[in-house]
Amino acid sequence: LWQNGRSSLGDMIYKSITDEFFDPDSLLSSTDLSSEHKVLDLKNRIEASIIIWKRKMVQKDSKSSWSTSVRIEKRELFEERAETMLLILKHHFPGLPQSTLDISKIQYNKDVGHAVLESYSRVLESLAAAILNRVDDVIYADSKATKEAIEESNGKVSPSQFDMEKPGSHTLLDFMGWNMDQGDETKNQGDSDEYSNEQENEQVPTKAPPETKRVSYLERLEQWGGLKSPIDRN
């Protein structure tokens, strides 16, 4: 192992971990993780720095000075941040091979039972990562199917299907022209009806009012029988 955490992690990662504002996601995104070898190397360095800080905290735990307690608290904080980075790295890259620490725990462990447990735990870890990936795929497929079912129940139709089912596409000018033509036809029909009515009125002869015959007063008396000549009386 290295002597301290700085030499194990490197200057850039060590400054990011020991900074007041720590962001593990941005730190990992700024680190070169283009190949599996680089990811495994970063994992080895993080695990080594965690072991170094733990050993120093155990060695100086017996001292009760104020400066020592402050250093121990800082190392505990750095250790927690390094473990957070390690968990995120394992989550993003679940299929990584065993690190140097894992191999050492299995190979150089004097207790056979602990060595078997270490190897068995690594197998379980890889299987758990595979199961998590499958569960994520199932959840994604289920959410997609549920969304499509909701869209179908709401009567949402895709634009392509709507265009296929639409009998014909008309522009606004077509509709406006149709309305204008219809208005012109209606107007022309009204004009023709009015013209035909005028023609009929002209063809029908108008009857002259009957001439009133002027009757004198004597004629009216004769009609009523009230006035007769003496000859007629006899």
CATH dotted code for 1-93: 1.20.58.1310
Domain residue limits, the chain: 1-93, 98-137
Q: Is the pTM of this model over 0.75?
A: no
pLDDT on residue 139:
92
Measured over the CA atoms of residue 137, residue 139, residue 144 and residue 145, the dihedral's sign is positive
Look at residue 99 and give its three-state secondary structure. Answer: coil
Convert the pLDDT of each residue in 102-147 to its tens digit. Answer: 777 777 766 667 767 777 777 787 788 788 888 988 999 999 999 8
Task: Give 162's pLDDT tier (boundaries 50, 70, 90).
Answer: very low
Q: Cβ(57)–Cβ(72) under 8 Å?
A: yes
Convert the pLDDT of each residue in 78-99 to its tens digit. Answer: 888 888 888 888 888 877 777 7
Which tokens sit at 62?
Answer: 């017996």
Query: Which helix (H) or strand (E) covers residue 222, if one does?
Result: helix 217-224
Convert the pLDDT of each residue in 27-38 to its tens digit. Answer: 888 888 888 888
Look at residue 90 and give its three-state secondary structure. Answer: helix
